[in-house]
Every structure is written in structure tokens, then in C-alpha cells.
Structure 1
């Protein structure tokens, strides 16, 4: 039945607004259009108010009073009006209006207060015809509508027991990709061998949210919950009864630097019924767990968080649960003692294994002893889970925090249930895309990280096979008991014995040794000596050229630069005096060049061309050089490359130590200036070593041409020159850096980020322990065959190499596990669809106590659910099939030997827009 905003009447020279009452119109309910009821009840109201999409309307209404007529409530529902009360209704809202508000409230985040006032404005915006006040009635209708929709989608109307038979958590939309025995797990899953059993773990996350406060409005007697414990919020009576026995319990202590934030969250708690909420969700797919959400009365206490956690696991029959919590290091202590004291219905089954982890973003601020044992990156069988999904759920709920905070206790719980349900539903609808995205990402990553790890291992195996076996045993021992006494293989050793003075002394000794070496290098009448002298001069040229690029220099530095140029010019002249002996055809070849080569600039000897076999075209070498001279240079360039790599890695480790030492110990301007001077010297050494390697690599490329040798000696790019535990900034960090630069008045492209030599400073992140660890790639120079021969005094590899090898292994393992897990989640999802379709089929004819009309409606609704479940299974299976086949190809073979066809492009139907723009109509009306 449709209403018009107003009727216009021409009077006094303009149109006046008139309502249907002004025209003497009455609305007949319960009869066909155009029919009047001969027995209109005397109780029919004359001032009935209807809220519709186009405003708030006052009407006169006649109910049907014929013998056998339905109740007034039923008559209103028959015409699509939802009454505000079940007895003598005076107000109603059209179902169309309630559907629209439900949509706008959940998707567009429109509060009920603003929506209602918008309806009042549609009636009349001048205030001369104010709408009758029906905000409380509208709130009641909306709340009942939310609840009935949840019950309908859960199939409660199909059950002979009706709403009274609803079990705890039964109205929740469950995660169909998580393991559910008897539904989506194969028979005998509980007997799976250890190398497979990890795919049947349940991964859940718990967290507290202090933005979801609740003011002390109304009481439960006046505002009860419509479905206590039926969906996501726990049954309040049992919850409060349990909390009453722990009223004096302190808050959970924190070992992290976030502790100040927890303290701030609990300020201004006066006048609050709830200081926030706690919740449990599945870690992999971020769906709220049934019965896993509840109010926190004051702060984050064990009694609250334990009850919510155990409540979310009621009825679990799995063997292992991985629990993620940002303070798991504290929460896990005495966990089983607290579990044994829980109410009987919350007891966990005997034999259940619990693994405790900290979400990746929250782990770095923890004390160092927490980093290894509680890290997802180093835990077997969790794939690429980050544990932060519960935080992303808060971003969904927090938009409604202000309106929810002023609700009574029952309204608050019912609204949170509805919001959690919509969040779960939209993620269920998007499973076809979200799981596909995960697998599309994981397949190339498992290839990249597995091949990187195998290349790393192959580079070590030749001379350090025994150490590799020891490292492998160390990792396995630590994985069996991360909290035990075993050495953490992922923890970099703390080097405190060497002070900054020691570093300065060591660098000075190395510089002195180099000066002695260069001063003693005299030309020998041998081809190798001639080549060695030429290579040494080229290295000196690189050092002088770098110094000449310095943008500002002191008088002493300018004098030193001139001295180096004088020494270098003498070396060049001495080399040219004997060069004709070893390259007799060089002068003739130079004279034949067109255009002529530029004359040497003796004022800048670093620019003078030093001709060696690698400087000549391959065709000219035989006529210009003595026999074997080319091969001799090839051997020397190979050695030069290895020396440069070792020197580069040594200086990078020194830089890492210097940064760590400065951050930990340096205070005051004087100490900072001295440390910065030392770091500048280290950076100069890194630049020179990089330049030496690039010169050697360029010489080898000229002598050999492209070939297999480049898989070991790779081209050294700017982003490759980084420490073993440094990584390049990711796109998000680069974007944040750009924003910060713009706010500081700099250019966003980083053009000002240049060093004193005018070279761009690479955007890297130092000492990142957890965030981004799974996608970090160690620079190739740390696992090149030429670069792994560095040993300590005992002949063992540097401890940093062991740590990075362990991390590379963990990255490869986690990405491979991710492929396995996502493929298993796809299988579970499809099997759940088939199970759910069968479940709906079983509900079709359960009710024999209803009218034929209602029975037909129930059957139609059930058949629609069956069709949707089967359509999902069919569509998702077709969408996933090509990528699942590619995943099977990767998992079938050893990754490093997999056929290159795995890299062939593949088209997938990935609807990126669906991540946030979920279809809502079906959820709001018919979906379960």
C-alpha cells in the first residue's frame, strides 16, 4: 500500500498541503481493494501513524471485524505493515521501509536517529506541520525486525520447536571454510599422520575493543535481550554469574609498550556499564565466532576474556587450536589452571592441544624473548596467517560505536549481533573471491621463496654440509618446544663485546693494511702482475672518483684529494710505460678508432681509460694482447668479485652493528656526531666495495658474455646493497614516506634524499623483526656461492648467515603451507555448501502444524536456500578450478624443479570490487 507525501489544495492563490485525513479518507484493512467491511470494530483507531519510505503519515484506518477475521496485527502484516505493538497497535512501519533502513544502516552506516529525522523532513521541512513523535516506536520495530530476520535465515520457522528451541549460537553465520567435523572434514581426519594433521587445526583470534563502550542507560528488566546467547553475544545471565566470582581480579598485565594505551582506554570509565567488548573470530577468514563476543565491565580481565574464548569453543571436537591474542605471552600462563575452573559447559575436551601466538603487528613491541616462540612466521602449520583479523573486524564495528554506546543493554546486544551477522555474511558471499586471491598470491610466492631458499642452501652445501645438518637439527629441536631451553635459531646474536672504539680500531687497521698493500705493489715483468696493477689502478680510480663527487669538502679533504690524484697519475704513467709489452697492438688499435678517442685529462687521472683485455671488443683481443692475457684477466676478475663481495658483506654487518649500538647507547649531541662520522666512513667503504664488485662484474661480462655464471655472480643493483636483516620498503611504507615528505614541505618523489655524493638514498627498513618478514627477500649477495665462504676463527659460518638461512627456510615453509591451507579451505567450503543444501532440503517439510499457505511459503523459502547453496558450489568450483590445478602442480613436485609452465599466465575471474561492495539484498531478505 503506497502513500503520497501530501495532497495539494489550491487556496488563497497558492497550494496548501493537505493529508488524507483532511480529505475524509479512511483505509480499509482486511478486505479486497474497493470493499468495505460491514463490521468495522469500534476499536479501529482514527489517528493511526504509518512510517513509509516517503514520510510519516497520519491516517484513519478501519480493521476488518468479520467472523473469523485475523487479528489486527495479522491484518497489518498481510498488507505489509509491521505494527509497533502486538496489542491495539496505533503505529506501524511498512516492511519496505524497514528493509530500506536495514540496508542503509548496515551498508551505508546510517543511524536510526538520522534516518527517522529524515522521514520527518520528508513530511514537512518548515516545521509548521510537525510529524507525530514515533522515534521510540520506530526503534522497537527496527530491533524486532533485525531479530526476526536472523531467526528466519537460521531456519527457526522451519523447526517444529520454533524460537523456543533455538540453541546458543544457532543464529550465527558460521565460517564454512574453517574445519567442522561431521560437516566439511573427511572421515578419519582425526587419525591423519602428523605431516597432514596440521591442516585440521582451528585458528582463532581474540582481542578487546575499548571504543565499543556502553553507557549505564536503562536496565535489563526494561530492555531485555531478544535472543540471549543465540548469535554472537554471550548469554548475559550466565556470563555475569561467572564474572561475579572474579570481581576482584586485576587486569591482565602486559609485557609490551602498548601498556600505556590500555591504561588510557580505561580512563573516564565513570557512568559506563561496559568499558568495551571482547571478541573471538577465526584467524584465517575473520568471521566472528558464535557466542564469542561480550561486554567488558572494566578493563581487560582474565575472567572476561577466558569466558568469551571458552564460550566460542563450546562443542569443539578438533585436536588442536591455535589461539592468537596480542598479549598471549601473559594470557597463556596458567591457562589450563583457569580452564579447569570454568563452568562445566565451557570445559575443553581432554587431549586438546593449544598453541598461543601473538599477531604479527603486535609482536615487535614485546620483549625480545617473546619474538620467536609467539611468532606466526616461525610456527609450523599456520601458513601466512597474521592473526590481525580481529582488529580488522573492529574497524567494521567501530563506525556504530557512538550510537551503540547510548543504547540500553538489550538493544546494544541485539544490534551488535546484527552487525556481526552482516559482517560474517558479506565475507561468506565474498569467499569465492577472497580464497581465490589468497591462492593467486601464494603460488608465485611459494615458487620465489622456495627457489631462494634452495639457492641459499646450495651455496652453503659445498663446504658447510655438516653445519647445515646442525642448523636443521637446531630448528627441529626448537620447533618441538619453542618455550623450552633450546636455542632460538631465528634470533640474531647480540654483539656487545665489541665497542664502537673496537670497530674504529679494526677499520683503521684494515685501512693501514690496504695502504701498505698498495704501496708495495710494484709492476712485475709478468702478465699477471701487469693485469693486477691495472685492476688496482682501476680500483683507485673508483675511490678517487667517489671522493671527487663529494658535494662539500674541507680544505684538508681537498688537499687529500689532490694528493691521491698525484699518486694515481704516477701509477697510470708507470702502467702505460710497460703496457706495450703485454698489449703490443694497443697503440695501433687506438689510432684506428673513429671517432678518435678523447685525449686523457691528466688533471683528473680518475677519468683516464685503463686498457685491459676486457676494455676491448672480443674480435680485437687476439691482435692486441699477448696469448693467455685474456684468460689471466678472467681469473683475476673472478677473484676480484669474490673479494669485493666478502668486503661488502663485512661492511654491511659493521653498519648493522653501528646502527644498533647508536640506537641503544648514544645520547647527546657530541656522541651522536662522533657515531655519525663513523657511520659515514662505513658507508664510504660500502660504496667502494660495491664499485669494486661492479667493475669486476662488468669485466667478466665483457670477457665471457652472458651465461650461467650470472646465476652466481649477479648484477649488483642499488636495492641489493643491504644488510642481512634489512629489507626494501614495501609500497605501503613508501606511500607513508611520501605523505610525510609532503607534510614536511619536501617533494614526494624523494629527490632531496641524496647523500653527500649526490647519490639517491635507497628506501630500506632496518631491524624489522616480524612485520613483513614473510615477504622479505634477503639480498642475493648473502647466499651467492661466491659469498658464503666467510667463517669465524673456528672455521664456522657467521651466526648471521645461520639466522638468515633459518628465516629463509621458514618463509619457504609458510608459503608452501599457505598453498596447502587455501586449497583445503576451498575444499571445505564446497563441501559445506553441499551439506547446507542437504540440510535445507531436510527442513522443507518438517512443519505439519501450519496452514497450507504458510507451508507453501516455508517450502519456497527453503528451496531458494537449496538453490543458492548449490549455485555457490558450482560457481566457486568453476572459478577456482584453474588455480587449484596450478597449485596441485606446484605441490606435486619439488618446487625448485617444477616445470616452467607453472609460470604461464592464467586468467581468473577475480572480482576486486566485491571486496567492499557486497551484494546486500539477498542477505537482508532471504539468506541464511
Structure 2
């Protein structure tokens, strides 16, 4: 280190200082720190050597040290219009001082312009010298092309702001007094916008009339396209696509990914209302004027999801939009390779409204009219798809035929947060010919683009669009140049080897069963179906007694049994309805007790609920007296002032000395209580997964005391959901124990508050996590009391399920 330090310090003086210059005419007291191994020169030589390098940093020996001087201080000047030579048609002293911003610093230099009769404007003379003028008329500031290229690439790669880069240039100019350096921040910002636009136009081919070669594309498009996705008229012929079989659809399907980003906001502040986007509508953002006109006809709606697992949206809407005029963007990418689609991005306000998602999707599909297969990946597809065709018919009637070609799915990570029905119907895992598309690639791009949010959110509307268009284009370009790289080829080789191993596994599993059995599995319909109001799929393990019953299903089975009994002339229909009503009254009593113990109990709400419950209890008592006339004296008074404490005298509430009249109703209540237990466990699993998702979102996104307080309040609500499900389960299980359930039953075990947890599947597992077993209710246990035949059915269906999952993997993962 000492040797290196001495070598650096030795550069502060040159051995040739004060000696004769190489020209032999003057003293060598000048040097350049930007020239390679620059010798010490005299005044005349240093000026001549830097006539074509006027922005180098020069130094002059003061007698004790080298001090910084500019080319202008050394008597140099720059000459425009004649290749660096002075024009002979101007006066000797004509010209003016110009501030030049270069990578080496900010320089003030005397400049002369061409004075010939055919001389070009000052604007063009500067531009042809690779100097970008900051104004059109009589510019006195210019930025070198080298500086603009350096600034541009730094902003794209590191996402730094123009302000930070300009501050660095000021310190390069004068490290001890940067405030004395001319401030050209605003000029740099303005010129960079023009530079970005001109660069985008050249690279997009519009400066070379590229539209003539691609008439099927939107005119004047500046977007960098994905070369790997099917584009009819570019990399695949329509005749080939139309002739392809369904089994080849994975090769010709346009996979799109739709997602919102709530970090790329625009702050609520004073903005320039006249600012416009130079690229407006020709790159990745939609045309803003047309977009705003479309929104005028849209009725605002919250678009809240009815999927029980999507409650994370509530926290998102509460916490992320403070002081934001634009709350984020909605974007469309190709789901396979992660390229932003042309005209596939638009601004959001107060959330991810379906109308805005519709607009960007339709704009992307403008070029997809010839596509035969289209798949859209969207984390709320289960809700978004419901009225998609109606909305398109209303606002985009010409695009309705394209929507007929669209299928949808929920990305593989997000689908874990949806209810079982959504996972069966919309998971990529079960989507035929999906080529193992995960649908999550768009999430990886947000991590990169969000680094620019700090600067773009403070920009004017048009400036922000231009900046993000440029950033998205840079992302697409980097994706494009790596499509044929070695990592992709290595991945292909690994997939081939994995396919060979899975083929061997399939053969070994198939050999363990008869050919007829395996062929029967292959012929089964894998499309989910709704049977009896419940979605069913071959990918779910089903057995005669293995499926946990719900209270509704138990009630329906009891009703069917009663009808058969009534037809035989034994008992009338109504016993199951009677007990079911008792359970509803019990639930209402629990709700009132919960109101009384809430943080802010409402007296009016409690009084109203009690009044309604008393009326219900009177009806219940009358019906109960008709069912059990011999027990009328033992039945409670329904007119008590505290109706939530009234005993309903259900069979389960007679722990001892149960009257014989109730024996018939014991079996009915037990069936309903078992369903009630399983419903409570299902609600508990849902509450835990919802809590985990929102807690993860709070840790990652919520900042500040106010936002943290609101987020914690919402998490407390979700915590109460878990406790509520626990209480419901324990009440139902306690009743079952009174009805004869064995305390050692494995399917309905004791449950405590310490067990109200589950692993968060949205984050990688921690080291050693697998050694800590999850609570028992996460595992579907084999039902107790199965006969030998039922045991065989259970084992058969488990093997069947494994083979189906394996078959799905084989059909999807290797198609692409």
C-alpha cells in the first residue's frame, strides 16, 4: 500500500517541469491529465495538441504545484463548420463563450461559428460537431454526445437520477468548490428527453422507414419486440398456425402476462399541465389522450374480489396510495420471455380497476387479430374474466372476436393464495399445452424498474411516460440479446435429461398396474367440472369416506334420507331442518356475545340483535314444544332479557340423562356438527394463509408509523378471524363429544391457540423448517373406521392421483 501511495503522490509533479518543451521553443509547464502518459508541454504545444480535444482537463505548474485550468484559459477555442478549423469568412474576434457539459466536467470555451453564405444554423453546426444545444436560437450551452451517452446508459443501468449525475460532474470540475461550477441541471434534463426520443426513433427503425417492411404492426411503433414469441407475419406464417394440431398449440400460443405495479407512481404535487410525452402511444404506454377519453365513459367501481383468498388487495389499497396522483401502472408482457408489449402499459388511480386492465389488454391485442391461441396470465383472473366479454362488447366491440381466442390462468405462485376452486380451474399446473409457463416472469421485471421510482414519481406526466418508455425499452433490449445465450442452451439440455428421467419413472409406475387401468387413467377428462354446486377435478384425491364433509353437504344428505323415509311412511320430513335451525340460532347467540366483547361495542346494534333473537327463540320454543310435548316443562323461557344465554336444549346439550325422545335427533345433529367442524377447519386454513400473505406484504412494502399502524390494525382483524374459526371448531367438537365422538378420533383432534399457524408458502423455507411439523389440520389424514374395501379404494385413488400429476407434468413441462 505504501508503494502504491508513493506512486500516486509522485504524479503530482513531473520530472520535465521547467525544462525545454519538445518543440524547443518554450518552457514545459502545462500538462493534460486525460491524455495517456501526457508529457509536460509548453503553452503553444498544449493548445495545438488539444484543438480536437478541447474538453480535456489541463493543468499549469504554479511554481509549487499543478493547478487546474481550462482550454479557454490556455487561449484555446473551438471552431465550428469547417471540421475544427476556423472559418475564413468571420472577423478575428467574432464568436462567443459557450458552456459545454462533458464527461470530464463543465467547461466554458470560446466558440466561433461558420460565417459562409451557405452556413448552417448555430443549432446544426453544434450538432454536427457532436454537441447537443440546450436551446434552439443562439444557444450558449451544449452537451457533448459523449456526455449524453454516458448519462443515458448510467440512468438505464443504475437508475440514478439526472440530478445525482449532474452533481458528480460538478465535483469532477471542481472538487473543492462544486457550487462555483455553472449549474446546467435543468438543461441536462431537457436535452436528455430529446436525446432519448431521437435514440428511440433511430433504434426502433422509424428513422429508416421500418413500417414498410412490417405492415401488420401498429404504425410508428418504437417498441423493441420479442423475437421468440409467435408473431404472424414476422417469424411464423398464418397458414402454418392454422394447420397446426391442438397438441402443437404450445408452440404457437401467444402467452401474455398482466399485472399491476404500485411503486411506479406519480406524486401529488404541482405539475406542468402543458407537459406532453414525446413518444405518446408509440412505445409501451398507451396514447394518453385516447386513454383519458375512454375513461370518461367508465363508471368507477372498486372491483373488489369475491375470492375469499384475495383479501390482500384491501391492505394494498389502504397503504400504498398516499399522496399519489397516479398510484402505479398496469402492464402487459409476453409471459414466456418477459418483454413489455407495445402499448401495453397505462396509469392506474386508486387500484387495479378492471376497466384499465381491459384497455391495455385490448391495445396489445390490436396486433393479435390473426393469432389462433392466446393465454393471459393474471393474478386475479378468476374474477377478472367473469364479465370480460361483456365489457369488451360494450367498449371495444370490434375486438370481441379476438376475445374468443383468449384463455386465462393464474400465475403459479399467486394461485397458492386462491381458494381450491380457483386452483383447480385456473392453475397453469392443470392447463393443457401451457409449456410449463409459470406466469410470474413479469414480477421479476418490477424489481428492476422500481429502482427508478424515486425519480420518475417526481416528474411531470409526459416526462414520466418518456422516462418509463425508455427504461422498458432497455429492459426489452437486454432480454433480447440474451435469448440465444449459453444459459438458455444449458437449460434446454437439462430439460431433455429431466424428460428422460421422468419417462423412466412413468414406465416404472405404469408397470405396477394393469394396462387397462393405466389406459383408463389416460382417457379420463382432466377438465374441472361443477357437480352439485362443488367444483371437482381428477387431480383431487376422492374416496367414499375420505372427503371431509361440509355442513351443507351433510344437511343435503339428511334431507335426501328423510324423503326416502317419508315415502316409506315412517317419519315426516323436517327433522334435519329443525336441528339445522337450532345450530343457526346458536351461531347468532355467539355473534351477539362477540359484539359484547368487541373493542367498541354498539349498544344499538346489540339491542337490535337481541330483539331479533328473542323473536326467533319464541318461534323455536313453539316448534320445540310440538316436537317434544313431554318436555315442555323442561324447556327454557325464551323471553329472558339475555337471549344469548338461553339454552336451546339440543341433543348435544344433554350431557347426562338425555330424554329418549331426543335419541333420533342425536344422529342428525352429529352429522351436522361434523360438517360444522370441517367448515371451521377450512375457514381456519384460509385465515392463516390470508394472514401470512398480508404479513409478508407488510414486511416488504409498508413504511412509516401511520402506515404501519393501519397495517397492524388490519392484521389484528385477520388474527381475530383465526380465533373465531378456532372457537367455532371447539364448540362443534365439544358438542360432538357429548354426542358420542371418541376423544381419540384422529380426524377431529383437540385444537389450541398455539396451533394457529402454518408455513408461508410464498417465501423460501428456512433452514430446519421441515423438522418442525405443522399442526395436524394441514394434513388430510386417512379417515378412521374404513372397511378393507374402502381401504383399498383409498390406496387406489392415492396412486391414481400421483400418476395424474405426473402425466400433467410430462404434458406441460417439455412442450416448449
Contact 1:449 1:811 in 2 (8 A): no
- 1:492 aligned residue (541, 550, 566): 541
Which residue does the alignment assign to 2:351? 299
Name the CA distance, whole Å, in 2 between partners of 1:483 and 1:117. Answer: 69
Instruction: Specify whether residues 762 and 43 from structure 1 end up closer, same or farther in structure 2 by C-alpha distance, changes over 3 A only.
Output: farther
TM-score (norm 1): 0.55
Q: Deviations over 1:74-116 (max 9, x none)?
A: 1112211111222222211111111112222222333222111
Which residue does the alignment assign to 1:461? 514
Which residue does the alignment assign to 1:93? 143
Equivalent residues in 2 for 1:210-359, closer than 5 Å:
210-217=262-269, 219=271, 221-253=273-305, 255=307, 257-267=309-319, 269=321, 271-316=323-368, 317-343=370-396, 347-349=399-401, 352-359=404-411
Contact 1:233 1:293 in 2 (8 A): yes
Q: Deviations over 1:874-896 (max 9, x none)?
A: xxxxxxxxxxxxxxxxxxxxxxx
Q: Secondary structure at the residue paired with 1:144?
A: helix
Pairwise CA distance, 1:383: 1.4
Would you say 1:806 and 2:804 are equivalent positions? yes
Which residue does the alignment assign to 1:74? 124
Q: Secondary structure at the residue paired with 1:107?
A: helix
Instruction: Specify whether residues 99 and 111 from structure 1 end up closer, same or farther in structure 2 by C-alpha distance, changes over 3 A only.
Output: same
Instruction: Specify whether residues 411 and 18 from structure 1 end up closer, same or farther in structure 2 by C-alpha distance, changes over 3 A only.
Output: same
Larger CA deviation: 18-27 vs 271-280: 18-27
Would you say 1:410 and 2:439 are equivalent positions? no
Name the CA distance, whole Å, in 2 between partners of 1:35 and 1:43. Answer: 11
Would you say 1:373 and 2:412 are equivalent positions? no
Contact 1:215 1:273 in 2 (8 A): yes
Name the CA distance, whole Å, in 2 between partners of 1:440 and 1:460. Answer: 32
Name the CA distance, whole Å, in 2 between partners of 1:171 and 1:267. Answer: 35
Which residue does the alignment assign to 1:589? none
Q: Deviations over 1:636-670 (max 9, x none)?
A: xxxxxxxxxxxxxxxxxxxxx9x989975767999
Q: Secondary structure at the residue paired with 1:460?
A: coil
Which residue does the alignment assign to 2:27? none
Name the CA distance, whole Å, in 1 between partners of 2:62 and 2:89. Answer: 36
Which residue does the alignment assign to 2:227? 176
Name the CA distance, whole Å, in 2 between partners of 1:498 and 1:311. Answer: 45
Figure out how many residues of one structure are paired with residues of the other and give that number.
569
Name the CA distance, whole Å, in 2 between partners of 1:764 and 1:168. Answer: 59
Contact 1:205 1:325 in 2 (8 A): yes
- Consecutive unaligned residues in structure 1, runs of 5 or more: 500-656, 683-725, 742-749, 754-760, 770-781, 783-788, 822-928
Instruction: Specify whether residues 234 and 792 from structure 1 end up closer, same or farther in structure 2 by C-alpha distance, changes over 3 A only.
Output: same
Pairwise CA distance, 1:41: 11
Q: Deviations over 1:454-505 (max 9, x none)?
A: 322321226xx35x555444434x2699999873111234633699xxxxxx
Would you say 1:49 and 2:99 are equivalent positions? yes
Instruction: Specify whether residues 296 and 160 from structure 1 end up closer, same or farther in structure 2 by C-alpha distance, changes over 3 A only.
Output: closer
Q: Deviations over 1:315-356 (max 9, x none)?
A: 2111221111000000000111111122467x2445842211
Which residue does the alignment assign to 1:388? 440
Name the CA distance, whole Å, in 1 between partners of 2:779 and 2:338. Answer: 26
Which residue does the alignment assign to 1:737? 766
Name the CA distance, whole Å, in 1 between partners of 2:93 and 2:404. Answer: 66
Name the CA distance, whole Å, in 2 between partners of 1:183 and 1:206. Answer: 24
Contact 1:226 1:410 in 2 (8 A): yes
Contact 2:54 2:78 in 1 (8 A): no
Name the CA distance, whole Å, in 2 between partners of 1:449 and 1:318. Answer: 32
Contact 2:78 2:111 in 1 (8 A): yes
Instruction: Specify whether residues 235 and 360 from structure 1 end up closer, same or farther in structure 2 by C-alpha distance, changes over 3 A only.
Output: same
Name the CA distance, whole Å, in 2 between partners of 1:765 and 1:105. Answer: 52
Equivalent residues in 2 for 1:450-849, closer than 5 Å:
450-461=503-514, 465=516, 468=518, 470-476=520-526, 478=527, 487-493=536-542, 495-496=547-548, 733=764, 736-738=765-767, 791-792=789-790, 798-817=796-815, 821=816
Name the CA distance, whole Å, in 2 between partners of 1:406 and 1:473. Answer: 59
Q: Secondary structure at the residue paired with 2:345?
A: strand
Contact 2:206 2:221 in 1 (8 A): no
Name the CA distance, whole Å, in 1 between partners of 2:55 and 2:126. Answer: 19
Name the CA distance, whole Å, in 2 between partners of 1:484 and 1:232. Answer: 43
Name the CA distance, whole Å, in 2 between partners of 1:146 and 1:326. Answer: 33
Instruction: Specify whether residues 385 and 38 from structure 1 end up closer, same or farther in structure 2 by C-alpha distance, changes over 3 A only.
Output: same
Q: Secondary structure at the residue paired with 1:172?
A: coil
Would you say 1:120 and 2:170 are equivalent positions? yes
Instruction: Specify whether residues 265 and 160 from structure 1 end up closer, same or farther in structure 2 by C-alpha distance, changes over 3 A only.
Output: closer
Q: Secondary structure at the residue paired with 2:386?
A: coil
- Higher relative contact order by CA 8 Å / sep ≥ 6: 1 or 2? 1
- 1:443 aligned residue (461, 485, 496): 496
Contact 2:55 2:102 in 1 (8 A): no
Q: Secondary structure at the residue paired with 1:207?
A: strand
Which residue does the alignment assign to 2:473? 421
Name the CA distance, whole Å, in 2 between partners of 1:397 and 1:382. Answer: 27
Name the CA distance, whole Å, in 1 between partners of 2:681 and 2:291. Answer: 48
Would you say 1:111 and 2:168 are equivalent positions? no
- Consecutive unaligned residues in structure 2, runs of 5 or more: 1-51, 552-677, 686-724, 735-741, 750-757
Q: Secondary structure at the residue paired with 1:181?
A: coil
Instruction: Specify whether residues 69 and 254 from structure 1 end up closer, same or farther in structure 2 by C-alpha distance, changes over 3 A only.
Output: farther
Q: Secondary structure at the residue paired with 1:363?
A: helix
Which residue does the alignment assign to 1:884? none
Alignment RMSD, CA only?
4.3
Pairwise CA distance, 1:810: 0.8
Contact 1:31 1:37 in 2 (8 A): no
Contact 1:383 1:814 in 2 (8 A): yes
Q: Deviations over 1:894-925 (max 9, x none)?
A: xxxxxxxxxxxxxxxxxxxxxxxxxxxxxxxx
Instruction: Specify whether residues 120 and 766 from structure 1 end up closer, same or farther in structure 2 by C-alpha distance, changes over 3 A only.
Output: farther
Q: Secondary structure at the residue paired with 2:183?
A: coil
- 2:203 aligned residue (148, 153, 167): 153
Q: Secondary structure at the residue paired with 1:292?
A: strand
Instruction: Specify whether residues 795 and 300 from structure 1 end up closer, same or farther in structure 2 by C-alpha distance, changes over 3 A only.
Output: closer
Name the CA distance, whole Å, in 2 between partners of 1:303 and 1:129. Answer: 49
Which residue does the alignment assign to 1:697? none
Q: Deviations over 1:124-174 (max 9, x none)?
A: 122276111211110111121111111101222222999xx9955711111
Name the CA distance, whole Å, in 2 between partners of 1:412 and 1:136. Answer: 15
Instruction: Specify whether residues 364 and 78 from structure 1 end up closer, same or farther in structure 2 by C-alpha distance, changes over 3 A only.
Output: same
Name the CA distance, whole Å, in 1 between partners of 2:475 and 2:463. Answer: 18
Instruction: Specify whether residues 666 and 201 from structure 1 end up closer, same or farther in structure 2 by C-alpha distance, changes over 3 A only.
Output: same
Pairwise CA distance, 1:797: 5.1
Name the CA distance, whole Å, in 2 between partners of 1:20 and 1:220. Answer: 39
Equivalent residues in 2 for 1:838-877, closer than 5 Å:
none
Which residue does the alignment assign to 2:620? none
Instruction: Specify whether residues 290 and 793 from structure 1 end up closer, same or farther in structure 2 by C-alpha distance, changes over 3 A only.
Output: same
